[in-house]
């Protein structure tokens, strides 16, 4: 008897989102394609290095804690280094949108790329080291989105209050805080709790550094999902 659509849905794989500390994420599509974003080398930051190899590597800007491509690359990796524009890797669509690492149009710390990734019928946006609240024309290019990875630790990026304003503007289904104080990190960033006090959305603490998700499992309203760096 042929499979029905309902039976096929039972066997459908989920998308895995795994945090490797700081701004480094590993996204595994339901077909097994691995996307690595902003890899670091671990030792320079005082934390563990990422332990995966990526099919696609996205670099938001070329600071040492975001561009350790060699750590996660393999011979056939596709590297998008500060890529602005649109491209596709199989069924995965990637858009790079230029923004700034500081409130002074990049004059202090330079420019960054915000990546919007369409994978498994979901939109995932990684804001890199966003240093200012984006202009409306930038918001229009990165919204709507389902999952938002946003820096919240301040010092080198937007701080808790600004990050909360960005979340309020975008209103994704899931917000994943990043780039904040974690055990071992040598950078003097603020704790995630400072950000959580600024937001009005429900907070879900994940007892690990990864979660699996699909379009039909997204929450109906915005939630903050705090991963546990271990």
So what's the pLDDT on residue 92? Answer: 98
Strand duo 202-205 + 223-226: pairing = parallel
Report yes or no on 5 lying in a domain: no
Q: What is the average per-residue pLDDT within 19-45?
A: 97
**How far apart are alpha carbons 96 and 6 in whole angstroms?**
36
What is the CATH number for 22? Answer: 3.60.15.10
So what's the pLDDT on residue 17? Answer: 99
- Using alpha carbons only, give the angle 73, 228, 118 rounded to the nearest 5 degrees: 50
| pLDDT tens-digit series, residues 119-158 | 999 999 999 999 999 999 999 999 999 999 999 999 999 9
Q: How far apart are the first and last CA of the chain?
A: 46
Which pLDDT band holds residue 98 (cuts at 50, 70, 90)? very high
Report yes or no on 65 lying in a domain: yes
Question: Considering its fold, how many domains does the chain have in total?
Answer: 1
| pLDDT tens-digit series, residues 80-93 | 999 999 999 999 99
Report yes or no on 177 lying in a domain: yes
Does residue 3 carry a pLDDT above 60?
A: no
**How far apart are alpha carbons 94 and 58 in whole angstroms?**
10
Report yes or no on 6 lying in a domain: no
Report yes or no on 1 lying in a domain: no
Q: Tell me what the pLDDT averaged over the chain comes to.
A: 93
| pLDDT tens-digit series, residues 15-30 | 999 999 999 999 999 9
Which pLDDT band holds residue 12 (cuts at 50, 70, 90)? low
Compute the half-sphere exposure of residue 52: CA atoms within 13 Å on the CB side of its CA.
Answer: 22
Instruction: Name the percent of the chain lying above pLDDT 90.
Output: 87
Report yes or no on 3 lying in a domain: no
Which pLDDT band holds residue 9 (cuts at 50, 70, 90)? very low
Report yes or no on 2 lying in a domain: no
Domain carrying residue 83: 13-226
| pLDDT tens-digit series, residues 154-196 | 999 999 999 999 999 999 999 999 999 999 999 999 999 999 9
Whole-Å CA distances, 136 to 34, 99, 133, 139: 31, 11, 9, 5
**How far apart are alpha carbons 76 and 18 in whole angstroms?**
22
- Using alpha carbons only, give the angle 39, 226, 120 rounded to the nearest 5 degrees: 65
């Amino acid at each position: 008897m042929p499979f029905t659509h309902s039976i096929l849905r039972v066997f459908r794989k989920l998308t895995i989102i795994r945090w490797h500390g700081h701004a480094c994420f590993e996204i595994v599509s339901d077909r097994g394609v691995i996307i690595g974003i902003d890899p670091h080398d671990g030792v320079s930051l005082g934390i563990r290095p990422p332990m995966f190899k990526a099919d696609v590597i996205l670099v938001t800007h070329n600071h040492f804690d975001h561009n350790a491509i060699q750590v996660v690359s393999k011979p056939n990796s596709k590297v998008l280094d500060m890529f602005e524009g649109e491209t596709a890797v199989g069924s995965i669509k990637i858009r790079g949108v230029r923004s700034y690492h500081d409130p002074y149009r990049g004059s202090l710390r330079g420019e960054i790329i915000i990546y919007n990734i369409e994978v498994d019928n979901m939109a995932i946006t990684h804001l890199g080291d966003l240093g200012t609240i984006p202009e409306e024309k930038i918001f229009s290019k990165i919204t709507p989105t389902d999952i938002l990875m946003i820096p919240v630790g301040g010092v080198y990026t937007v701080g808790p209050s600004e990050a909360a304003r960005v979340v309020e503007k975008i209103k994704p289904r899931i917000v994943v805080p990043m780039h904040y104080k974690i055990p071992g990190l040598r950078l003097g960033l603020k704790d995630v709790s400072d950000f959580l006090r600024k937001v009005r959305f429900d907070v879900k603490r994940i007892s690990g550094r990864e979660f699996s998700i699909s379009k039909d499992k997204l929450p109906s309203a915005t939630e903050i999902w705090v991963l546990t760096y271990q």
